[in-house]
Structure 1
């Protein structure tokens, strides 16, 4: 029978490798881990921890789940809302996952997370390259979507794999450092090929986060050899993907020049601005509890039709705050805010603990990626995004905690 440490190690590697090869396979594996951990907790094989990080994050997850329940209760005629009771169950998994994951020591947990991420990074690069080749090396219209079949979740997973591989490459005494540097290159390439412009910013922001909040890594980044390696990799990456970068950014500038910041149905930028105007209307109509899914989407179609002469229909308002305001009002905004503020609070509380810095930087990197996503796209509300947020944030909190957390009988 596998020990808890071995089980955690094998599952962690498989889980983050699945980010690259299986699309929603990660969601299934993460949900399976949450169910397994919850069952162990129920039968007394895990002891509830008094670790405040775990309890605070569990409370935030419960608040987000209850926000979905509130949306159901305040919009009983909207059948689309009832799925929230199922879709948000993963957010009740923070505490059980924390208890199970914390049975592994920090070093084993870091090693398995980084190994899985490196495998996933290679896989997303292969996906991007193969899809590009199958598109006859198209430039203007090409966007890699990988196993998820959607450039958004593909870009998110690539950015998170990049963050973990960067952490691995910057850790000291790493005999496998060149492999993780290569994995960084793979993840960055996949991210660029996704065409997700808001997440392009992560290519610059993630190293800055690590430089600012990880003093040991800062010293390693500033040595002459590291500077040469980073410069060479940057040149290689830009050389390989420069046409895609130029095409996507050029298209953005073209849209901005065409319509400025006015709502229009002529391009995706104008459509997003129209959606934000309509989300504001939805919020004014139901500020506390929101309109629910069906009514918010119906308003989206009617409002955009009046605003730009064409009914626009999407599953969300292409901004995390706008979507939360329209669907769930102040209750939903508060719940999402809690999910983001709680990890930031613990980063601040643990800032002076050298052993917590890896977890702090991982947490801030994840929040950066999700925050960038939320500017013009979807932050939560997709199965991969939700499962990944819950699992990676739990891992980061375990790594941040200053003492052993769980126990098994």
Structure 2
């Protein structure tokens, strides 16, 4: 649903700009980010052309449309009042956290799922989106944009519980690091008595949640230790960790074969299946290498990996510039959104998907569009004002 809404809106935004019913907003931060995004898309397409597989890869190239919509969505979203957009983002994230807790309760206690996955079909993907929502609620409570701080804290804690029940260890780490970043960005706002009291209450409740979910944390840690022992002592790859190590080895070998332009976006599944069969004598298949940059290195080579890294580098640079010179709460909130999405995606992408999943791609664009606009964008008028002639009748 998220992908449908964002891509449908992106298509409509493109038509509005093309028909000149909306102006194309040319902000320097947006232009730099657009250049990086389009370079990544170009590298992926070039890899398919070099491998003479453009027709075979056509279906795999369709998701790039989500990225290509970025400047057009940005231009149309620029008619929004920044304060209104920021409140919409905060309240929507609050609703997402409570909704995540509801899904968690249904899936874990009613359906008996050991690792909840929301409606994403994947615990890590679900945890990634919820982590972003939790961090936005934290930023909203600390920035002072939304007055009902207690409800935002409750929403953040609800989302934290949902992330705990996903069993996604990498997202636990991402949530911790992103949370520290949010606190550091808004540390000036923590000096008030109410903010300190709210932080102490949140910490106490967070510790209570960790205590209640200690068995989940302990079980996931034991799984990791068991997988590590099996891999090191017996070379056992038929575990979650073993599968990842095997895929990383297959991916590195595939990258060495074609380091500059890669094998093309459609070759990943075939390379993984063939690698498991030839190197490990296993009949296994996956759609990606469970490392975002390794996946793009195999698919589009060094050129693609550099372009993908540039997206996050440019976004982080835009955010850092705003945080360094601006004291405006809306601008700092937008920059915080960028910091949150960069940290969460890069950490999650180390052992999972970085880009290439429909909801992750759409949410990444939503955060980059709205974060960049709130941080450093200029608001455009909805329609061009017409100057009336000065006459006695007028």
When normalised by structure 1's length, the TM-score is: 0.87
For structure 1, which runs of at least 5 residues remain unmatched after alignment? 1-24
Give the aligned partner of residue 345 of structure 2: 370
Give the aligned partner of residue 156 of structure 1: 128
What is the deviation of 1:405?
5.2
Corresponding residue SS for 1:260 = helix
Corresponding residue SS for 2:52 = coil
What is the deviation of 1:220?
5.1
Contact 2:174 2:348 (8 Å CA) reproduced: no
Q: 1:218 to 1:174 in 2, by over 3 A?
A: same
When normalised by structure 2's length, the TM-score is: 0.90
Compare 335-344 and 170-179 and name the one that shifted more: 170-179
Contact 1:263 1:273 (8 Å CA) reproduced: no
Give the aligned partner of residue 29 of structure 1: 5
Distance between the aligned counterparts of 1:282 and 1:144, measured in 2?
A: 33
Structure-to-structure mapping, 1:176-191, within 5 angstroms: 176-191=148-163
The reply to whether residue 56 of structure 1 matches residue 28 of structure 2 is no
Contact 1:220 1:226 (8 Å CA) reproduced: no
Distance between the aligned counterparts of 2:104 and 2:134, measured in 1?
A: 15
Structure-to-structure mapping, 1:116-265, within 5 angstroms: 116-136=92-112, 142-172=114-144, 174-219=146-191, 224-260=196-232, 264-265=236-237
Contact 1:318 1:378 (8 Å CA) reproduced: yes
The structure 1 residue matched to 2:77, chosen from 101, 110, 115, is 101
Compare 45-54 and 105-114 and name the one that shifted more: 45-54
For structure 2, which runs of at least 5 residues remain unmatched after alignment? 385-394
Distance between the aligned counterparts of 2:296 and 2:235, measured in 1?
A: 20
Give the aligned partner of residue 380 of structure 1: 355
Structure-to-structure mapping, 1:248-327, within 5 angstroms: 248-260=220-232, 264-327=236-299
Distance between the aligned counterparts of 1:373 and 1:121, measured in 2?
A: 19
Distance between the aligned counterparts of 1:31 and 1:221, measured in 2?
A: 44
What is the deviation of 1:152?
2.3
CA displacement, residues 101-126 of structure 1 (integer Å, 9 cap, x when unaligned): 22122211111111111111111111
CA displacement, residues 218-254 of structure 1 (integer Å, 9 cap, x when unaligned): 4359954134212222123213422222211221122
Q: 1:92 to 1:106 in 2, by over 3 A?
A: same
Distance between the aligned counterparts of 2:15 and 2:145, measured in 1?
A: 38
Give the aligned partner of residue 72 of structure 1: 48
CA displacement, residues 341-366 of structure 1 (integer Å, 9 cap, x when unaligned): 11012123222112232122111111
- Paired residues in the alignment total 381
CA displacement, residues 158-199 of structure 1 (integer Å, 9 cap, x when unaligned): 111111111112122743111111110111111111111111
Contact 2:190 2:196 (8 Å CA) reproduced: no
Give the aligned partner of residue 16 of structure 2: 40
Distance between the aligned counterparts of 2:126 and 2:119, measured in 1?
A: 8
Distance between the aligned counterparts of 2:35 and 2:54, measured in 1?
A: 27
Q: 1:119 to 1:175 in 2, by over 3 A?
A: same
The structure 2 residue matched to 1:352, chosen from 325, 329, 332, is 325
Contact 2:3 2:359 (8 Å CA) reproduced: yes
What is the deviation of 1:399?
1.0
Compare 307-316 and 127-136 and name the one that shifted more: 307-316
Contact 1:80 1:293 (8 Å CA) reproduced: no
Q: 1:175 to 1:294 in 2, by over 3 A?
A: closer
Contact 1:152 1:194 (8 Å CA) reproduced: yes
Distance between the aligned counterparts of 2:125 and 2:5, measured in 1?
A: 16
Contact 1:278 1:300 (8 Å CA) reproduced: yes
Corresponding residue SS for 2:290 = coil
Contact 2:43 2:300 (8 Å CA) reproduced: yes
Distance between the aligned counterparts of 1:284 and 1:84, measured in 2?
A: 22
Give the aligned partner of residue 16 of structure 1: none
Contact 2:124 2:166 (8 Å CA) reproduced: yes
Give the aligned partner of residue 5 of structure 1: none
